[in-house]
Structure 1
Amino acid sequence: MSADFKHVNYSWDDAHAATLDPVARLVYRSNILGDDQRITNTGGGNTSSKIAEKDPLGGANAEVLWVKGSGGDLRTSKRDNFSSLYQDKLIALQSVYGGRADKGLKSAAEDEMVAMYFHTTFNLNPRASSIDTPLHSFLPGKHVDHMHPNAIISIAASANCEKLTQEIFGGSMAYVPWMRPGFELGLAMQEIARRQPDVKAIMMGQHGFISWDDDDKVCYIRTLEFIEKAAAYIDEKYQAKGGDATAFGGQKYQTLPEEQRRATLAGILPWLRGQVSQQKRFIGTVQDDEKILRFVNSADAPRLAELGTSCPDHFLRTKIKPLYVDWNPQVEDAAALKAKLTAGLEQYRKDYASYYNACKHANSPAMRDPNPTVVLIPGLGMIAWGKDKSESRVTAEFYNCAVEVMRGAEAIDKYIALPQQEAFDIEYWLLEEAKLQRMPAEKELARQVVIVIGAGSGIGKETAHRLVKEGAHIVCVDLNKEAAEATAKEITDKHGLGIGVAGSGISGCGPAIGLAANITDRASIRAMLDQVALAYGGFDHICVTAGIFVPSDTSGHIPDDKWALTFAINVSGSYYVADEAAKTWKEQGLKGNLVLTTSANAAVAKKGSLAYDTSKAAANHLVRELAIELSPLVRVNGVAPATVVQGSAMFPRDRVIGSLAKYSIPYSDDEETESLVGKLAQFYADRTLTKAPITPADQAEAYFLLVTNRLSKTTGQVITVDGGLHEAFLR
């Protein structure tokens, strides 16, 4: 069967399907449909099955509609992502709707019906029903697939959609003009199926399509066959017109070479992030692959971008239209690009306000953020923005879908967008607004990017794990790249990579990435910061936990090169990081935090740690100096730990043994390292007022506190986390 399809994947496994109960078969069908982005986009489309169930009240047989509920994604959906509703009660709602609609209250009736679905719930299933529920209930098939394939939407978004539907599919697919999903559309489809009993699919103008059958495997195959036929038709017409060489009116601009392209993007992204984050901070995703570059470099890109997207699923993510910047990468420089972006953003906000004011109703929600979520730049590619990395990746995915729809529509006819009033009524739908208002509050560090330097082990690793729990995106940086990537992997394994297309090509670009940097080398620091810009669009805070301890030799001296290395890492490195980051913070214009690591030893002189102690004393004052230099945009504070043995890279086994011997603490050479560490940690703890070992988690809590707004008026301070070392009390 797989050989019969070139434009979609056939994934049905009879042996596996045979082991599943009816609801599990629905989940299975949904997952394999959603797994192919040519069939439907992330979060888009829905599936259903009408299944015979035992009514929990009395045990009588009941026909139950299992349909993908509100939210969720077909590819990853489980059983609890589906709502279950009494089919007969759903049908009975038609009379309720009809009574309201006949009185000229159709729009209000549509909204009221969604609340009525709760009265049809089977077996107390808590999953909220989708607005598409009537489409699935009112069609005659036992199994229904509603998909958003690019190929089908290309036809749906064509000026002559109805004619093309007949030409391509003959009498096997009917047509319904654009209607907002809901009861009215469900009733229209019901009437089409009644009048045309041989039809098994309906083209939904400017939306997608829906197909059905009484056998779930046949329904699945039919869905694939319709998409395959549409894609093959478009491909034939596309190639006949010249294919890629003439796509979107042909090429107007040249793509910049990769190195220059990435350098230009890294230079402009933090500034752009600051511009679009005037109301709320955004996280970016860069896409510069061949397909998106083909579009942004084309002659027709300005015209098509201005039309905006067609499918409602697309523009809910991408807004009514993207910002296209008519910049010539061959003759104009980055300064010209910034000037054109500035003008473009200003005009975009005005256009969005005009769109809102022209389309709003008396009860419309207040205007939302007027900044674009998609920016298109010739020679460079696309930048998508979202509240987190996952959302920005999905936004990028959806505009990719929109581009493919435009390509297909222009190949076979002429692309048309959804009328602005219809688009507005979906974007500002009161039920959608109510759903937004019900969403839980964002976490404390949501929308923020934190760079943790020294994240490969010890305090840095613990800090990375602490901050990501509060919603932060974490850049794990270490001299040892493998250690940084390992920490990032621990985070993504626990919290997931999110969904959507790959970003700028940086591995594992989800809530955490691992990068290498040598903080004694400015070029290495700048390269790392540029990679962060390409991954997320910019950054908000930096925690420097990297450090080095070189003990004096047996004569009490430390070699000159070790003295220099100690100061290079513990003092100069923090300064270089701050100085390079300051350039980005200034460009971005968003408030941030810098947290450096000093030590209790900065205030307490100890034998055998001359270089370390004096370097940490210098770091203490560096905190104060940088607080002045970087104000008012950036707050600078420090964390001063006492000796942290557990999990510290500065306490390998040989140093632990050396310290135990130094302090005459009994131990044996064959003793487990964990036991040795515990003895030394308790020794240090016994010298404090709290008598408890100091852990990396204790330090991480201080870093968390200082990068949040909980101490928003605190800068130039060093917080001690030393268990109460009275020798280090302020003097």
Structure 2
Amino acid sequence: MSAQYSEYKFVDALWDDATANALSPVERLVYRSNILGSDQRITNTGGGNTSAKIMETDPLTGEKVEVLWVKGSGGDLRTSKVENFSSLYQDKLIGLQKIYADTTPNGPKTAIEDEMVNMYPHSTFNLNPRPSSIDTPLHSFIGAKHVDHMHPIAFIALAACKNSEALTREIYGDELAYLPWQRPGFDLGLKMQAIYQTNKKARGINMGQHGLINWADDDKECYQLTLDLIEKAGRFIETKDRGADTFGGQKYGKLDEDTARRLTIELLPFLRGQVSQQTRFIGTVHRTDEALEFINSNDAKRLAEIGTSCPDHFLRTKIKPLYVEWDPTTGDVDSLKELIVSSLEQYRADYREYYEACKHDNSPAMRDPNPTVILIPGLGMIAFGKNKSESRVTAEFYNCAIGVMRGAEAIDEYIGLPRQEAFDIEYWLLEEAKLQRMPKEQEFARKVVVVVGAGSGIGKETAIRFATEGAHIVCADLDEEAARTTATEIASKFGKGIGVAGTGISSCGMAIGCRMDITDSASIEACYNEVIYAYGGIDVVALTAGIFLAPTANGEFSTKQMELVFKINAIGPYLIGHTAKPIFEAQGAHLKSAVVITTSVNGVVSKKGSVAYDSSKAATNHVVRELAVELAPFARVNAVAPATVVKGSLMFPRDRVIASLSKYDIAFSEDEDTEALRLKLAEFYAQRTLTKEPITPEDQANAIFFMASDKASKTTGQVINVDGGLYEAFLR
């Protein structure tokens, strides 16, 4: 079969024969899945599934058997590999129909449907560990060799129409059958099997309020059919497009980008605090023209109340978003905050009523009643999730829902899932079991940590330390290139993406590189604003930046030198904490925050030739105590005091290290690299401590991490020495 369209407008045709022909049958399935999943107009992240029935050699009998390869539970088509697919004996899956028939004499029951899912592992081929999805019977019971089940925006618009069945006949004739909404499972698979066996003209099914499923006996033909069916829906909707009257026309005007960004940054920490009263969230700002067209429209509030239709969208976006009816032309953020408070109270009450009205005797306990999607005219969509990835995907899903509503309203009338059906998906016991099996969240997975001085030394190790516990990391440094390098290394190591501050893109990953001059309040605020726009707020600020200046040859310090050292080492820490104060206050005292400042044991130990550094660090120690008072109860403020951390430190450049080695008569060669020389000096300093071990950046990072963690939740205003045991620095 050749493609129906020579050119596509609503999908991307990506199949390449040369690539496909070099692959095995299973690899061709993965290839088909990847190119379908790469186009978000075809299916959303983690959504949809594909399958192929392939003849394989049975490892037990050596005979050829038919095996269903189908995308497994929790996979994503765009990124899937062979290991993300389940493999099951096709004859054993078909054999389960007798078990199902024997247990459902009076028709399908939810309990039996769920029990059947537990039978799929008994059909596993070749000990494949990938769990099967609930859609497995849909793919197995349709007799064709290849099946695609997608969630295309254009097609869901048709599926979510009030008169979807009639429209399906009008657009596709006998090519597509129609099934009203039914939760995926064994019974739905049987209904699809009946259509496949009795309706020979049908090549697919409109799954009402859900999506599209279609089939063919050739994989390329199945792929092309998927594209053609979606394209036909898109072209039909295009003929009905309402232009300027879409969503009833615009109720509110569009703000310019600078104004919208400024107002959003002013709002976000407060908003994050309000929705995080039960569980801490990370935010994503989604401000596309398509989203604003919807949010600023006359119909937005009505349609938002209906909620989403496709269950894949719904599971991320909850029963409905929160629409805040605010006039952006006023620019009055205080009135917006008041509206948010009252709107959230009503949303939570609505959610509790929804839960109580729909719950079953065995339903899981009510989950967080706060919205995950908030729509604000002029500003756009703000989505929340347990981490950046989830909040970004939530925004993506609701953006898909907007596209669905646009199409449905153009050709008919948009409808959402019945509340009870929506509840039964959200609180499905199988879904709850999946949530319970998920590993425990890392302590900092929901937190945003700004590490100042992250370009090298202690700061870099601190950023990495927090990243190992799942934190969203902002690598700030006077050297912007070094900050970005650290952020890139973290993103590469932990595989969660990188953003660059200053781009205005809030779709960043877990790491951001940001320039910051700690002596300049405007520079600090600019970096913090980037963090807020990227993640919604700040939870921890760890300051590791500082400066050491040696005296002149005669041992003197100039006034200019003293001023610079105090400006960086004492005033800088104050500005770091003080500038963060309004952010912490806006988030609220229930979102406990922390500031950890690196000082030095030199702050309590006097020695010759270091008056500028030592006295500045003594001032820093008291700044810590003052900030602890100033930022309470919103944030704890503590300090870590190292001693002679030489490894990787910019405070120990090569010339200073060589000078120190010469001063202490430590043998060295000019040919040795800087790190080797630093190691020699570190070993010398270690012998002056009680533990006799060099103090490393990793030691400081662990201490900073501890002071920022919940394990130190009752500690503030303290300076903790991490110096290997210098008795000269013991408290007197």
Interval containing the TM-score (normalised by the shorter chain): over 0.9
Counterparts of 2:250 and 2:497 in 1: how far apart (Å)? Answer: 34
Equivalent in the alignment of 1:427: 426
Equivalent in the alignment of 1:488: 487
Equivalent in the alignment of 2:153: 150
Q: 1:87-126 residue pairs with structure 2 within 5 A?
A: 87-103=90-106, 106-126=109-129
User: Is 1:33 matched with 2:36?
Assistant: yes
Match of 1:11 among 14, 29, 33: 14
Q: CA deviation at 1:264?
A: 0.6
User: Is 1:204 matched with 2:231?
Assistant: no
Equivalent in the alignment of 1:49: 52
What per-residue deviation string (whole Å, max 9, x for no partner) do you get for residues 91-130 of structure 1? 1111111222224561111100000101111111111110
Q: CA deviation at 1:210?
A: 0.5
Equivalent in the alignment of 1:549: 548
Equivalent in the alignment of 1:635: 636
Q: CA deviation at 1:677?
A: 1.6
- What amino acid sits opposite 2:374 in the alignment? V
What per-residue deviation string (whole Å, max 9, x for no partner) do you get for residues 288-332 of structure 1? 121111111111111111111000000100001000011001135
Equivalent in the alignment of 2:335: 336
Q: Is the 8 A contact 1:286 1:504 kept in 2?
A: no
Q: What SS class does the counterpart of residue 710 from structure 2 fall into?
A: coil
What per-residue deviation string (whole Å, max 9, x for no partner) do you get for residues 600-651 of structure 1? 1112112221100001111112222222222233211110111111111112
Counterparts of 2:282 and 2:496 in 1: how far apart (Å)? Answer: 14
Paired residues, what number? 726
Counterparts of 2:675 and 2:480 in 1: how far apart (Å)? Answer: 25
What per-residue deviation string (whole Å, max 9, x for no partner) do you get for residues 17-37 of structure 1? 112111111111111110110
Q: Which runs of 5+ in 2 are unaligned?
A: none
Aligned-pair Cα RMSD in Å: 1.6
Q: Is the 8 A contact 2:488 2:498 kept in 1?
A: no
- What amino acid sits opposite 2:480 in the alignment? K
Counterparts of 1:506 and 1:193 in 2: how far apart (Å)? Answer: 47
What per-residue deviation string (whole Å, max 9, x for no partner) do you get for residues 6-63 of structure 1? 2111111111111211111111111111011011000000000001111111112111
Q: What SS class does the counterpart of residue 384 from structure 1 fall into?
A: strand
- What amino acid sits opposite 1:540 in the alignment? D
Q: Which moved more, 1:650-659 or 1:266-275?
A: 650-659
Q: CA deviation at 1:383?
A: 0.2
Equivalent in the alignment of 2:467: 468
Equivalent in the alignment of 1:266: 265
Equivalent in the alignment of 1:195: 198
Q: Is the 8 A contact 2:43 2:152 kept in 1?
A: yes
Q: Is the 8 A contact 2:51 2:139 kept in 1?
A: yes
Q: Is the 8 A contact 2:214 2:222 kept in 1?
A: yes
What per-residue deviation string (whole Å, max 9, x for no partner) do you get for residues 632-679 of structure 1? 332111101111111111122122222222223223333322222222
Equivalent in the alignment of 2:364: 365
Q: CA deviation at 1:499?
A: 11
Q: 1:159-198 residue pairs with structure 2 within 5 A?
A: 159-198=162-201
Q: 1:217-616 residue pairs with structure 2 within 5 A?
A: 217-238=220-241, 241=242, 243=243, 245-331=244-330, 333-497=332-496, 505-506=504-505, 509-589=508-588, 590-616=591-617
User: Is 1:76 matched with 2:79?
Assistant: yes
What per-residue deviation string (whole Å, max 9, x for no partner) do you get for residues 480-527 of structure 1? 111111111111111123699x99833771111111111111122122
Counterparts of 1:206 and 1:706 in 2: how far apart (Å)? Answer: 50
Instruction: Tell me the TM-score normalised to structure 1 length.
Output: 0.97
Q: What SS class does the counterpart of residue 4 from structure 1 fall into?
A: coil
Counterparts of 1:446 and 1:331 in 2: how far apart (Å)? Answer: 37
Q: What SS class does the counterpart of residue 170 from structure 1 fall into?
A: helix
Q: Which moved more, 1:503-512 or 1:168-177?
A: 503-512
Q: What SS class does the counterpart of residue 191 from structure 2 fall into?
A: helix
Q: Which runs of 5+ in 1 are unaligned?
A: none
Counterparts of 2:679 and 2:329 in 1: how far apart (Å)? Answer: 63
Counterparts of 1:76 and 1:655 in 2: how far apart (Å)? Answer: 50
- What amino acid sits opposite 2:302 in the alignment? R
Equivalent in the alignment of 1:622: 623
- What amino acid sits opposite 1:275 in the alignment? Q
Q: What SS class does the counterpart of residue 326 from structure 1 fall into?
A: coil
Counterparts of 1:559 and 1:288 in 2: how far apart (Å)? Answer: 52
Q: Which moved more, 1:58-67 or 1:39-48?
A: 58-67
- What amino acid sits opposite 2:397 in the alignment? F
- What amino acid sits opposite 1:616 in the alignment? K
Distance 1:718 1:55, change over 3 A: same
Q: CA deviation at 1:710?
A: 1.2
Q: Is the 8 A contact 2:285 2:506 kept in 1?
A: no
Equivalent in the alignment of 1:130: 133
Instruction: Tell me the TM-score normalised to structure 2 length.
Output: 0.97
- What amino acid sits opposite 2:292 in the alignment? L
What per-residue deviation string (whole Å, max 9, x for no partner) do you get for residues 199-248 of structure 1? 1111100000101111111111111111111111111211xx3x2x2211
Q: CA deviation at 1:565?
A: 1.1
Counterparts of 1:504 and 1:682 in 2: how far apart (Å)? Answer: 44
Counterparts of 1:130 and 1:505 in 2: how far apart (Å)? Answer: 38
Q: Which moved more, 1:593-602 or 1:384-393?
A: 593-602
Counterparts of 2:330 and 2:709 in 1: how far apart (Å)? Answer: 43
Q: What SS class does the counterpart of residue 639 from structure 2 fall into?
A: strand
What per-residue deviation string (whole Å, max 9, x for no partner) do you get for residues 336-371 of structure 1? 111111111000001111111111111111111000
User: Percent of counterpart pairs with the same letter?
Assistant: 65
Counterparts of 2:672 and 2:316 in 1: how far apart (Å)? Answer: 59
User: Is 1:139 matched with 2:142?
Assistant: yes
Counterparts of 2:40 and 2:650 in 1: how far apart (Å)? Answer: 44
Q: Is the 8 A contact 1:286 1:503 kept in 2?
A: no
Distance 1:503 1:160, change over 3 A: farther
Q: CA deviation at 1:3?
A: 5.1
Q: Is the 8 A contact 2:462 2:704 kept in 1?
A: yes
Equivalent in the alignment of 2:715: 714
Counterparts of 1:442 and 1:128 in 2: how far apart (Å)? Answer: 22
Q: Which moved more, 1:636-645 or 1:4-13?
A: 4-13
- What amino acid sits opposite 1:601 in the alignment? N
Q: Is the 8 A contact 1:384 1:395 kept in 2?
A: yes
